Amino acid sequence: MTSQSLVRPKDRELDEVLQDLTGARLYRNNVFRLTGLPVTASATQIRRRREEAALMARLGTPPATSGELPLDRKPDWDTVDAAFESMRNPVLRLVHELFWLWDAGEDDDHDYAVRRHCAVLEGPSLIEPGRPDVSDDPRAQQWLVAVEAWAKVLDGDQIWERARERAKTIDDPRLSTGTVRRLRDRLPRHLVDVHLVLAAKAAEDVDADATDRHLWVLDESSFDDDLIETAVRDAVRPAEDRVRAACEAADRVAETEPLKAIAAGHTLLEQTGTPLRTIAAMLGADDPITKASHDQVATSVNLCAVAHDNETELGSPAMSLLLRARELATETTTIELIEKNQTVISSGLVRRKVNDLVEKGKVNKAADRLRALRRHTGDEDLRERIDAALENPTSLTAPLKGLPFRGSYFGWGAYLWGRRATPDRGKWVAIHYFTIFFFPVIPMAAYLRDETYIYGKVPLSMAARWWRLVVLVLAVVYSALMAPDGARNLVLLAVVAVFLGWRRYRLNKWARQQVNREGVE
């Protein structure tokens, strides 16, 4: 068919008339169907039928409606009376005439379109569970035939010639040939919108597959592809607006009342679940608007989580929200932001268990406690958090109490060696070694630094700690072998062994206390 205008004419009166004829209400709200009058009814016929209907209502009898395609349930008097009153509006009357039977004979294309279309809209559901694939479903073919019948009618001249004739017959200054021209621009889009209302409802109430069945009918019809594309995007704008409004409300809470931010985040997820599902079903998961909407919600949920954690440092409530935010995020920048906050808050949860040691600069002891806790806890989530904290040396950074000594005397001294990578770009971990003849022998500590500054003390890696232990043990063994008093050296080795055993006992005791405390909580 020929391309139709993609821009709706700004005619408020037409908007008001057409808004009551959407989705399954297209024919149910037709004033001629409600009153039983023919579309060519004169003012006298309308008045007489209204008087008869009013009398029947006073007698307690439902208003009688006649004609083809009667409603399943008879309307009440108030509905019928409102229909009679609406017929005073000439624009409304002409629109309803175009969407109802003209009684022009069985071969009339317009009446055929009305009958077929009314039958599918008010008949068995297109999205009934268990139906065959839409392309093989006889019911879907019936829907396509009905939609195609209307596409053919609207693309022809008969309906518009009829509309011009009826405008002359009605003879009302509010109804002109300009109105007919606007209708010719509007009705193809309106018929598409009728089916998009059903598609959006299917997305809300059922799933994306149900939505696809309605969209398939439009895609297979001869309605203009650009018209359909524009209509689909307009159809999801209410859902976009709901998402935007919900995000703005959550953002305000996060910024002004951070203690309520967790509740605001969960409310946001509840409020946006349906509109996000609608947008994705209508546009597809890979559409830029779908991704942007999901990222908008993910960003707001992230803000709620971070705001609450900054205020309370509780950690766990924020982590539960960030997990949901990560599931929604689609763009790389959003994902990176959320994952960074997950790492920071998770590290904070772990660090708070040993923060007293970290603040004192005892970062290696803090790391040992975390390793002991990992061995004893049965909480897999806590284990993962501990692993992440130990893997990231910056998570246990202690403030500097002074710069590490760097210098030597004939190669005996201390220097910073190594360049262990960290998540912070431009920063790395350097190990403070005791050197012998400029050769790094014993690792003493580790520091976070860049080309210019040293930022703090961090735990030694396990490799460095094992190397230090091996060197010290070898030194003790060597001295024992070389010294004449072997008994005294054996006592020294025993003291070292007892110290290491006592230290491990203390670590395990602390870890068990932590596990028991968490079990009580």
pLDDT digits (tens, 9 = 90+) for 311-326: 988 888 999 999 999 9
Most confident of 2-16, 50-64, 127-141: 127-141
**Whole-number pLDDT of residue 69:** 84
The chain-wide mean pLDDT, for the chain, equals 89
- In whole angstroms, what is the distance from residue 466 CA to residue 147 CA? 77
Q: Are 36 and 186 in contact (CB under 8 A)?
A: no
471 belongs to a structural domain? no
Say yes or no to pLDDT of 6 above 50. Answer: no
Say yes or no to pLDDT of 4 above 60. Answer: no
Least confident residue range of 93-97, 124-128, 238-242: 124-128
Mean pLDDT, residues 257-272: 97
Residue in the block written with tokens 């970062």: 363
CA 352: distance to chain centroid? 32
Say yes or no to pLDDT of 8 above 70. Answer: no
Q: Are 430 and 418 in contact (CB under 8 A)?
A: yes
Least confident residue range of 334-338, 384-388, 473-477: 473-477
**Whole-number pLDDT of residue 488:** 67
Q: What is the pLDDT of residues 277-291, one digit of tens each?
A: 999 999 999 999 999
The domain tally of the chain equals 2
**Whole-number pLDDT of residue 7:** 42
203 belongs to a structural domain? yes
Q: Last residue of some domain: 163, 194, 222?
A: 222
**455: confidence class by pLDDT, cuts 50, 70, 90:** very high
**12: confidence class by pLDDT, cuts 50, 70, 90:** confident
167 belongs to a structural domain? yes
> Do 206 and 60 lie in a common domain?
yes
Say yes or no to pLDDT of 9 above 60. Answer: no
> Do 22 and 61 lie in a common domain?
yes
Q: What is the pLDDT of residues 174-190, one digit of tens each?
A: 898 899 999 999 999 99
Q: Last residue of some domain: 336, 351, 366?
A: 351
Mean pLDDT, residues 485-490: 66
**Whole-number pLDDT of residue 10:** 42
Least confident residue range of 80-89, 245-254, 348-357: 348-357
> Do 37 and 158 lie in a common domain?
yes
**Whole-number pLDDT of residue 313:** 84
Say yes or no to pLDDT of 345 above 80. Answer: yes
Say yes or no to pLDDT of 64 above 70. Answer: no
**Whole-number pLDDT of residue 45:** 93
Q: Are 227 and 192 in contact (CB under 8 A)?
A: yes
Q: The tokens of 454 are what?
A: 């040293």
Say yes or no to pLDDT of 500 above 90. Answer: no
Ordered DSSP codes for 28-67: HT-HHHHH---TT--HHHHHHHHHHHHHHHHTTPPPP--S
Ordered DSSP codes for 467-509: HHHHHHHHHHHHHHHHSS-HHHHHHHHHHHHHHHHHHHHHHHH
Say yes or no to pLDDT of 518 above 50. Answer: yes
- In whole angstroms, what is the distance from residue 120 CA to residue 205 CA? 19
Full residue range of the structural domain in which residue 342 is found: 238-351
Query: 4 has which bridge partners?
Result: none
- In whole angstroms, what is the distance from residue 68 CA to residue 47 CA? 21
Q: The tokens of 465 are what?
A: 């700690």
Backbone phi, psi, residue 408, to 5°: -160, 165
DSSP state of 441: E
485 belongs to a structural domain? no
Residues 6+ apart with CB under 8 A from 99: 21, 26, 27, 30, 114
> Do 207 and 250 lie in a common domain?
no
Q: The tokens of 36 are what?
A: 């039983």
> Do 185 and 278 lie in a common domain?
no
Mean pLDDT, residues 119-147: 93
Give the predicted TM-score (pTM) of the model.
0.74
Say yes or no to pLDDT of 393 above 80. Answer: yes
Q: Last residue of some domain: 195, 222, 249?
A: 222
Strand 439-449 relative to strand 412-421, pairing: unpaired
Strand 407-409 relative to strand 412-421, pairing: antiparallel
208 belongs to a structural domain? yes
> Do 111 and 255 lie in a common domain?
no
Tell me the residue length of the chain.
521
